[in-house]
């Protein structure tokens, strides 16, 4: 879809993946998200490039989901952990797509029925609606309805790179967050929230990513892979990413309490046929900013925040406000 300002949004049926969000430049257009040359490249590595994530974004320790006091053993796909909906998550599915032309804006609707063969309870009908507004906002609405009680905590794993260079180190990032979650060795949050003040995780003022990443060089992760507890500002914005060279920025709107920021620290050279980096992956090639619901903040293994009751549809919206 292309709007009046020449912004283009395109989606792939594999994984309900954002393939392109491009904005016009003096000489052509600039794609603000990472993508690959071939659809098979998307499943060639564990990085979920720009794909839809569900049923649950993030990690479930030991694949143990608690619902109504019962433990459901989920299949694991990252050692002992169930990551991003498991091996048959939304990103691995082929979605049906439809473009709906409306007076104000066109929308791309992606549909899919997530079967309980993925190990989670419930046959779940999922629809992701992508719209592109006249004022350059990309809206992503995830809706689901299940025949049984299950969990639903979707996100879009969009990696942005708004610049001309091969990494995001020149970008500036602001996150409306004064706490990050403590993580254990498996990167699973404990119930402890750590204040960001006076640490390199403080992005409350706009901060240059290269500087923040350099300050994290003695950590295991060597960059950001963290869950921030966020407070939307008066316009509903939770984070903003900007590239001073191209003067392009994206502000992220979400009503949920969390944002994962991942600076692609572990991107590998091989198996990453990215168009931008001419087929060679490299750390910091992009930054994934993933709005989601943080669970178990008060009590371990508490999934009540993300429960989806039978036949009670629920939806979540993420918006990218583009400025260029």
Enzyme catalytic residues: 157, 290
Among residues 47, 152, 203, 316, the one that binds ligand GAL under rule CB under 6 A: 47
189-195: Cβ within 8 A, 24+ apart: 189/227, 189/294, 189/296, 190/300, 191/296, 191/297, 191/298, 191/299, 191/300, 193/229, 193/297
CA 193 vs CA 202, 227, 286: distances in Å: 13, 10, 26
Least distance from ligand GAL to the Cβ atom of residue 307, Å: 21
Cis before 55 (ω within 30): yes
Could you say whether residue 219 binds ligand GAL (CB under 6 A)? no
Least distance from ligand GAL to the Cβ atom of residue 111, Å: 24
Could you say whether residue 259 binds ligand GAL (CB under 6 A)? no
CA 132 vs CA 6, 145, 290: distances in Å: 11, 24, 19
Could you say whether residue 262 binds ligand GAL (CB under 6 A)? yes
108 or 183: whose CB is closer to ligand GAL? Answer: 183
d(CA 155, CA 84): 9
Q: Residue 75 CA to chain centroid, in angstroms?
A: 22
109 or 187: whose CB is closer to ligand GAL? Answer: 187
**Stretch (H or E) spanning 211:** helix 209-215
137 or 183: whose CB is closer to ligand GAL? Answer: 183
Least distance from ligand GAL to the Cβ atom of residue 64, Å: 19
Least distance from ligand GAL to the Cβ atom of residue 26, Å: 34
Counting every residue, how long is the chain? 324
Could you tell me which stretch among 1-9, 30-38, 40-48, 238-246 binds ligand GAL (CB under 6 A)?
A: 40-48
Interactions with ligand GAL, residue window 175-204 (CB under 6 A)? 187
φ/ψ of residue 289, rounded to 5: -120, 110
Interactions with ligand GAL, residue window 141-170 (CB under 6 A)? none
d(CA 108, CA 140): 10
124 or 272: whose CB is closer to ligand GAL? Answer: 272
Site residue total, ligand GAL (CB under 6 A): 9
**Cβ atoms within 10 Å, residue 141:** 16
130 or 159: whose CB is closer to ligand GAL? Answer: 159
Among residues 48, 201, 203, 228, the one that binds ligand GAL under rule CB under 6 A: 48
Least distance from ligand GAL to the Cβ atom of residue 309, Å: 26
Could you tell me which stretch among 44-52, 125-133, 169-177, 246-254 binds ligand GAL (CB under 6 A)?
A: 44-52
d(CA 39, CA 151): 28
d(CA 256, CA 229): 9
Interactions with ligand GAL, residue window 271-290 (CB under 6 A)? 290
Binding site for ligand GAL (CB under 6 A): 46-48, 83, 187, 225, 260, 262, 290
């Amino acid at each position: 879809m292309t709007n009046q300002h020449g912004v283009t949004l395109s989606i792939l049926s594999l994984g309900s993946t954002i393939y392109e969000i491009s904005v016009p430049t003096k000489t052509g257009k600039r794609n603000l998200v990472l993508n690959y040359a071939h659809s098979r490249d998307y499943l060639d590595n564990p990085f979920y490039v720009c794909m839809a994530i569900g049923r649950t974004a993030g990690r479930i320790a030991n694949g143990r989901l608690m619902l109504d006091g019962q433990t459901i053993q989920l299949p694991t796909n990252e050692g002992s952990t169930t990551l991003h909906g498991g091996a048959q998550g939304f990103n691995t599915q082929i979605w049906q797509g439809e473009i709906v032309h409306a007076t104000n804006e066109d929308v791309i609707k992606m549909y899919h029925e997530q079967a309980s063969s993925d190990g989670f309870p419930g046959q779940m009908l999922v629809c992701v609606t992508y719209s592109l507004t006249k004022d350059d906002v990309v809206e992503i609405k995830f809706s689901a309805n299940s025949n049984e009680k299950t969990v639903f905590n979707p996100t879009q794993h969009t990696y942005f790179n708004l610049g001309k260079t091969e990494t995001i180190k020149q970008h500036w990032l602001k996150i409306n967050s004064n706490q990050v979650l403590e993580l254990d060795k498996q990167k699973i949050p404990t119930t402890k929230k750590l204040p960001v003040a006076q640490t390199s995780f403080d992005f409350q003022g706009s901060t240059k990513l290269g500087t923040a990443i350099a300050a994290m060089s003695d950590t295991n992760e060597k960059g950001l892979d963290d869950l921030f507890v966020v407070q939307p500002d008066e316009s509903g914005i939770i984070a903003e990413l900007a590239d001073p060279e191209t003067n392009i920025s994206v502000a992220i709107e979400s009503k949920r309490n969390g944002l994962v920021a991942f600076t692609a620290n572990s991107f590998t050279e091989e198996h990453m046929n990215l168009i931008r980096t001419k087929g060679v992956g490299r750390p910091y090639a992009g930054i994934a900013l993933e709005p989601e619901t943080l669970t178990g903040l008060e009590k371990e293994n508490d999934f009540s925040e993300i429960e989806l009751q039978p036949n009670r549809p629920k939806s979540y919206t993420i918006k990218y406000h583009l400025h260029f």
